[in-house]
Amino acid sequence: MTRRCWIADEVRGNTAALVGDHAVHLVRVLRAEIGQEFDIATGAEVRLGTITCISDDRVEFALGVAREVKATPKITLALAIFKFDRMEWAIEKCTEIGVARFVPVIARRSDAHLGTAAAKRRERWQRIVRQASEQSRRAAPPEISPPVKLTELGDILPEGAMTRVVLAESSVESDEKSRLAEVLQSCPTEVALAVGPEGGWADEELVWFREAGWVAASLGPTILRAETAAIVATALALEALR
């Protein structure tokens, strides 16, 4: 039976701990007992953890051997803000697939009230990616950047050999647009994907991407919802970069 994985709140040498609500779930819902074993993600690796101490809001583990965790390509998902319930579903699933960093983008077609509320939503998104990371047995959750305007996106992405791809409908702006899978064939191990809101990126936003050096690509002739496009693009990128 596969052991459940938890991301440690505290790590010190060969000990780790879950605290607060994180520990409460393990103690009260899963009825943890001293001596039980779980996989514990420390941020750098995943190690066997044996419960040594339990209180209402704290569970401590003795850390044992590390298990092998395969390195995954670095995928940054610049995700335009759209309806929070569907956006959060995309964040959860893309975390499970392997996104390393999310950058919420306030796009022209993002609803104004969602753009305003996005900063306060970040804490919830961090909980979502933590839970999804534990479920998918990742060594660490992805980073979620503060929401930014599109023109600020280039300032927070790392320089160097990162391929930047903006998804656009195949009928928009240019007949020269390639399929995403074709663009990714020659990518290094780090890629940024920009997925627009419902209705897609506005024309002036596509111009900004082009001038900033992003490559336009499509997922084909069908029109996908934003959350579907994010998941499909992430899966294609991970497969291409492995």
Q: What is the pLDDT of residues 13-67, one digit of tens each?
A: 999 999 988 888 888 888 888 999 999 988 778 899 999 999 988 999 999 998 8
Note the pLDDT of residue 171: 45
pTM over 0.75: yes
Note the pLDDT of residue 175: 44
- Domains in the chain, CATH or no CATH each: 5-67 (2.40.240.20), 74-241 (3.40.1280.10)
Q: Judge whether 8 and 17 are in contact, CB under 8 Å.
A: yes
The structure tokens 């940054």 sit at: 76
* Residue 188: band (very low, low, confident or very high) from pLDDT cuts 50, 70, 90: low
**What gap in Å lies between CA 56 and CA 29, rounded to an integer?**
12
Note the pLDDT of residue 95: 96
Which tens digit of pLDDT belongs to each residue from 73-89? 789 999 999 999 999 99
Mean pLDDT comparison of 90-104, 126-140, 158-172, 216-230, highest-scoring range = 90-104
Q: What is the dihedral of CA 43, 9, 128, 46, to 10 degrees?
A: 30
List the single range of 161-165, 197-201, 207-211 with lowest mean pLDDT: 161-165
Strands 10-12 and 178-179: what pairing? unpaired
